[in-house]
Chains A and B, each alone.
Chain A
Amino acid sequence: MASGNELIASGDYIKHHLQNLTYGQNPDTGIWELAHTAQEAKDMGFMAVHLDTLGVSFILGSLFLLFFYRIGKKMTTDTPSGAQNFIESIIEFIDENVRGSFNGKNPMVAPLALTTFIWIVLMNTMDLVPVDWLPYLAQQVGVFFGADPHHVFFKVVPTTDPNATFGMSIGIFILILYYSIKEKGAGGFAGELLFHPFGKMMLPFNLFLEGVNLIAKPVSLALRLFGNMYAGEMIFILIALLPFWIQWSLSLPWAIFHILIVLLQAFIFMTLVIVYMDMAHQKEEH
Chain B
Amino acid sequence: MNINLTMIGQLIMFAMFTWFCMKFIWPPIVAAMDERKKRIESSLIAAERGLSEQKEAEQKAQEVLNQSKDQAAEIIANAGRQAASMVEDAKDVASQEADRIKTSAQSEIEQEAMRARNELKDQVSDLVMQGVSSVLSKEVDAKAHKGMLNKLSQSL
Using CB atoms and an 8 Å cutoff, list the residues of chain A in contact with chain B.
Answer: 18, 20, 22, 24, 41-42, 44-50, 53-54, 57-58, 61, 64-65, 68-69, 71-73, 75-78, 87-88, 91-92, 95, 107-108, 110-112, 114-116, 119, 158, 161-164, 166-168, 170-171
Contacts and interface: CB of A to CB of B under 8 A. Distances in A.
Contacts of A75: 28-29, 32-33
Contacts of B66: none
Given A69-B24, A75-B28, A171-B14, A46 B33 contact: no
Given A48-B4, A50-B6, 15 more contacts: A22-B4, A46-B4, A49-B5, A68-B25, A72-B28, A76-B32, A77-B39, A91-B26, A110-B30, A111-B21, A111-B22, A112-B18, A166-B3, A167-B7, A167-B8
Given A115-B18, A167-B10, A49 B29 contact: no
6 smallest CB-CB distances across A and B, nearest first, come from: A167-B10, A163-B6, A75-B32, A111-B22, A111-B26, A167-B11
Nearest to B1: A162
Contact of B10 (A68, A71, A78, A163): A163
B35 interface: yes
Contact of B3 (A18, A69, A163): A163
11 contacts: A49-B9, A50-B4, A50-B6, A72-B24, A88-B29, A107-B26, A112-B22, A115-B18, A158-B10, A161-B1, A164-B10
Contact of B30 (A18, A91, A161, A167): A91
A49 B11 CA distance: 13
Contact of B25 (A44, A46, A78, A111): A111
Contacts of A53: 6, 10
A115 B29 contact: no
Contacts of A114: 21, 25-26
B6 A110 contact: no
A73 B24 CA distance: 9
Interface residues of B, number: 30
Interface in B1-50: 1-11, 13-15, 17-18, 20-22, 24-26, 28-30, 32-33, 35-36, 39
Contacts of B9: 49, 54, 167
Interface of B: 1-11, 13-15, 17-18, 20-22, 24-26, 28-30, 32-33, 35-36, 39
Nearest to B23: A111
A30 B26 CA distance: 46
B35 A163 contact: no
Contacts of A167: 6-11, 13-14
Contacts of B28: 72-73, 75
